[in-house]
Each structure stands twice: as structure tokens, then as C-alpha cells.
Amino acid sequence: MRYLPLTPDDRRAMLGVIGAKSIDDLYVDVPKAAQRSGLVDLPRAQGEAEVERAMRGYAKKNLSPANAPFFIGAGAYRHHIPASVDHIIQRSEFLTAYTPYQPEIAQGTLQSIFEFQTQVAILTGMEVANASMYDGSTACAEAALMAARVTKRSKVILSGGLHPHYAETTKTMAGANGVVLIDSAPAIDGEAEVLKLLDGDTAAVIVQSPNVFGTITELNKIAEAVHARGALLIAVFTEAVSLGLIEPPGAMGADIVVGEGQSIGVALSFGGPYVGLFATREKFMRQMPGRLAGETVDADGKRGFVLTLSTREQHIRRAKATSNICTNSGLCAQAFTMHMTLLGRKGLERLALLNHEKACDLADALGAISGVEVLTPRFFNEFAVRTPKKADAVVEALAKRGILGGVAYSRLKGGAMDDVLLVCATETNTDEDIAAFAGALKEVLS
């Protein structure tokens, strides 16, 4: 077996040093009845070539976005990833390192996290950010829990524009821990509706901008109203590239900003692994979930970085920790930070502008089709359209024509608004893609 270095001679010699007759002697503590004498009923070992062939077999049964005009967003986005980003995250020193618990030999990871935290804080307009969460949806759930800790209240109101998967994840994770989640009806342009449910028991309201329908919302007034009741404003985004062009939540009064960082440097990979971004105000720093890298000095007075404020975390605080999270999304954060460094202000602004222009072109092309109505009043790179047929049937009919033409909102939120199709355009779309999509949609609807 190519991954196992011990030879039969090694094994014999080692058993001799131990003073054991056979490997079975080392399993004496396992009840005999629970030990299997034979092999589990699964295939035997295979070489690299065989495994690769099998994997290619699975891949071939999927339609790759590389081979189809592609317009799906709704929480995960197709962007170009520079080759150098994938190279760096495959370097042994990043790929095969552990959590930086021994900082003297983990400065590479720690400095990268420190830079990542700074980039996320700048991007969101916040003061501090953590070292990452699993993804945007679990970051959203953690934000609800944190707001309940900070305010010592238990009610959290969710907007009707919050991605339904985020709403459900938050209900599952925060709901189990005593937070009462109040839903709003789906609304394309209704983030401010949360204020109708706001009261003195409210820990936080969660709004999303751009929301799941693509709508961008000005948050200042919502923030003022929320703060007036002593609650926190949690702002969610799923498309990190949007922050290159639109006003960041931190500049509009948000107290906690969480979102999905996949758009910057992380492959689509059928939903994961992604990277949850979590940023907040300095005054709430000690209530944050997850790991934090901080600056310090070594015995020679030289600058260095360590994991810090760990008395918040499960390995120290156990049942009283701010979260049970341990493993986070380190390597995806590494990809994010490198891609962001390659982009810089200039690259990110241009990338965002290109995305917006492609989406405007797409809206013009789809809106020109008889019976199709663009529903989203203000958007970045994705928007909702009303289709005269059920949206899930439209998606299937487009797929049959080799077009990945968005996602039905009803797929995200069982049955709701079943004539609403969510579509997205990015810098990866060509004018020909847009024309092909519009042409196919016209056919499907005729």
C-alpha cells in the first residue's frame, strides 16, 4: 500500500520491542465479540490510476459550468480564481499544517490569518474580524447567538430577504440554544419590514444586502431604529465581491457583519468547503465565536502572532464557551486572503464593476422577453425575474437545452413564490452566454 511505510520486517521488529506476539495483543482491551476477524465488505485497495478513473466517471455524469452558459448564484458564485492562489494553498506548509497551536513554528499561518482578519474588517467596514467560520450560513447562526449573549435577550428577527438556507441554519443552530427566531414573509424589497416586529425583547434583527433576491438595501435607518430599542443589527451578505462596489454594512451602522467569502478565491465545489466571514465592533470582541490571531512579541522583542483570547473557546472554557467551533475554514481563508491581495483595491473595484455590468446586460436581455419581468429594483450581480411558467420547470427545461439558468426561489424555500427565478451574472459570462440564455428562455416560455 503506497501510503503505508512499515514493512512486514518493521512490524515484526517493532512488536518485538513492545513485547507483543502479534497485533492482536495490542487490541486486548477491545471486546472479542466486537472485533472483526475478516475484512469489511468493501472493495480492496486500488492504484492511483484506477481511483482517478473512477473519479472521472463521477465527474463525467455532471454538467460542468465550464461547458454550459452558467447563471446560478443564490449564495455561491462562479468567479475566476488566479492560478497562483491554488498553487499557494497546495504548498505543503499551508496544506499540511495543523491549527497554529505552536506559534513559533506556525508564523506563516498566523500572519496570514492576521492579514485575513484585517482584510475582512476593511472590506466589511468593521473594526475586527475572526479567523473564519465554516461558511456564511453558520456565521449567521453564530451572529444570532452572539447578539443574544451581548444583549442578554433571546428574540432574533429574520428578514424576508435572508437566504432561506441561512434562515433555516440559524433556526437549527441558534434555536437549539434558546434563541427565539421570528421569520418574516419572503419579500423582494422588504428588509425594513423587520422593524415592524422589533420590540424591547429583541436581541437582534438579521437583514441581508444584497439579499437573496439580489436587492441592495440602505441600512442606516434600520440600524437607527434597532439601536433605539437596544438591539443589534446583524448584516448578512453572500456575495463578497459586491463589497467592492456598494457601501459596506459597517459604514451603515451594522453591529455584526457576517457573510460568505467563497467568491474570493474558493472553488464552487458543490457547496463546500467555503469560508464564513465574521466581523464586529471592537467592544464586542470578547463575545466573538471562533479563533482569533493577535499580534505580540517574542522573547527577543521581535513581532510575532499567536492565537489569542482563547478563554472564549471550547478547549479552555468547555460548556461555557462562546461557541463549540474548533476546526474552522483555515485553508479557504488562506485562498481568500491571497486572492484579495492579488486583487487589491483596484482589482476588486474593477471586478465588482464588471460583475454589475454583466448583470445589467443580463437584466436587459431577459427583461426584453415577453412575459418576463425583472423584479429586483436595485441589484449588484444577481436579481429575481418573474416567469410566466413555474420557475423550477423553467430551470429543468433550460438544463435540457444545456443552459444552467438560475435557481427557482421555491427550491430554496419550499413552494414559496414559485414563479420567481433567481439569476446571476459574473465576469465569467460572455455576451454570447447571455444571448444563449435569453434565446433559450424565450423558447422555453413560448
Partner 1 sequence: MSQASVSGSRGLLQAEPLIFEMLGGERTGVDLPEPKGLKDRLGGLKRKAALDLPGLTEPEAMRHYVRLSQRNYAIDLGVFPLGSCTMKHNPRLNEKVARMEGLGDIHPLQPASTVQGALALMEALSHWLMELTGMPAVALSPKAGAHGELCGMLAIRAALYARGEGETRKRVLTPISSHGTNPATAAACGFTVDEIEALPDGRVDLNSLTAKLGPDVAAIMLTNPNTCGLFERDVKEIADLVHAAGGYFYCDGANYNAIVGRVRPGDLGVDAMHINLHKTFSTPHGGGGPGAGPVVFSEALAPFAPLPRIIERDGVLAFEEHAFGEATGRLCAFQGQMGMYIRALAYMMSHGSDGLRQVAEDAVLNANYLLARLKPYMSAPFGGSKDEHWPCMHEALFDDSFLDGTGVETSDIAKALIDEGYHPMTMYFPLVVHGAMLIEPTETESKAELDRFANALIAIAERAKAGDAAAFKAAPLLSPVRRLDDTRAARQPKLRWKAETAADPARVAAE
Residues 59-88 that bind partner 1 (CB under 8 A): 59-66, 68, 70, 72, 74-76, 78, 82, 84, 86-88
Q: Based on CB atoms, which residue is closest to partner 1, 199 or 298?
A: 298
Among residues 152, 185, 200, 302, which is the contact residue for partner 1, using CB under 8 A? Answer: 302
Among residues 149, 229, 350, 442, which is the contact residue for partner 1, using CB under 8 A? Answer: 350
Q: Based on CB atoms, which residue is closest to partner 1, 162 or 205?
A: 162
Among residues 315, 368, 435, 443, which is the contact residue for partner 1, using CB under 8 A? Answer: 315
Tell me the number of residues near partner 1 by CB under 8 A: 215
Please give the single-letter amino acid code of residue 87: H
Strand-by-strand arrangement of the 128-129 sheet: 128-129, 276-280, 256-260, 232-237, 202-208, 155-158, 180-182
Q: Based on CB atoms, which residue is closest to partner 1, 200 or 432?
A: 432
Q: Based on CB atoms, which residue is closest to partner 1, 160 or 261?
A: 261
Name residues contacting partner 1, limited to 226-245 (CB under 8 A). 243-245
**Residue 307 φ then ψ, to 5°:** -75, 135
Q: Which residue is listed with cell 458543490?
A: 270
Binding segment for partner 1 (CB under 8 A), chosen from 151-159, 200-208, 378-386, 430-438, is 378-386
Q: Based on CB atoms, which residue is closest to partner 1, 36 or 446?
A: 36
Least distance in angstroms from the C-beta of 282 to partner 1:
4
- Grid coordinates in use for 180? 427565539
Least distance in angstroms from the C-beta of 197 to partner 1:
21
Considering only CA atoms, give the Rg of the chain. 25
Distance of CA 364 to the CA centre of its chain: 29
Binding segment for partner 1 (CB under 8 A), chosen from 100-108, 149-157, 195-203, 434-442, is 100-108
Q: Based on CB atoms, which residue is closest to partner 1, 196 or 286?
A: 286
Which of 265, 341, 288 lies closest to 128, judged by CA? 288
Q: Based on CB atoms, which residue is closest to partner 1, 200 or 429?
A: 429
Name residues contacting partner 1, limited to 379-418 (CB under 8 A). 379-380, 395-396, 399-400, 404, 407, 411-412, 414-415
Among residues 187, 225, 314, 389, which is the contact residue for partner 1, using CB under 8 A? Answer: 314
Q: Report the distance separating Cα 94 and Cα 428, nearest Å.
A: 28
Name residues contacting partner 1, limited to 137-196 (CB under 8 A). 137-138, 163, 165-166, 168-169, 171-173, 175-178
Among residues 55, 182, 368, 435, which is the contact residue for partner 1, using CB under 8 A? Answer: 55
Q: Is 23 exposed, middle or buried (0-12, 13-18, 19+ CB in 10 A)?
A: exposed
Question: Using a CB cutoff of 8 Å and minimum separation of 24, what contacts does 306-309 make?
Answer: 306/100, 306/103, 306/110, 307/99, 307/100, 307/101, 307/103, 307/110, 307/131, 309/285
Name residues contacting partner 1, limited to 4-43 (CB under 8 A). 4-6, 10-11, 13-15, 17-20, 23, 25-31, 33-36, 39-43
Q: Is 187 exposed, middle or buried (0-12, 13-18, 19+ CB in 10 A)?
A: middle
Residues 6+ apart with CB under 8 A from 335: 81, 85, 86, 88, 89, 264, 265, 266, 275
Q: Based on CB atoms, which residue is closest to partner 1, 407 or 438?
A: 407
Residues 6+ apart with CB under 8 A from 252: 125, 218, 219, 220, 223, 235
Preceding amide of 210 cis, omega within 30: yes
By CB under 8 A, residue 96 contacts partner 1? yes
Q: Residues 341, 349: contact at Cβ < 8 Å? A: no
Binding segment for partner 1 (CB under 8 A), chosen from 2-10, 146-154, 199-207, 431-439, is 2-10
Q: Report the distance separating Cα 113 and Cα 95, nearest Å.
A: 14
Q: Is 271 exposed, middle or buried (0-12, 13-18, 19+ CB in 10 A)?
A: exposed
Among residues 199, 357, 373, 443, which is the contact residue for partner 1, using CB under 8 A? Answer: 357
Q: Based on CB atoms, which residue is closest to partner 1, 231 or 292?
A: 292
Binding segment for partner 1 (CB under 8 A), chosen from 154-162, 226-234, 334-342, 436-444, is 334-342
Least distance in angstroms from the C-beta of 182 to partner 1:
16
Q: Report the distance separating Cα 193 and Cα 183, nearest Å.
A: 11
Q: Report the distance separating Cα 128 and Cα 292, nearest Å.
A: 10
Name residues contacting partner 1, limited to 262-291 (CB under 8 A). 267-273, 275, 281-283, 285, 291
Q: Based on CB atoms, which residue is closest to partner 1, 39 or 200?
A: 39
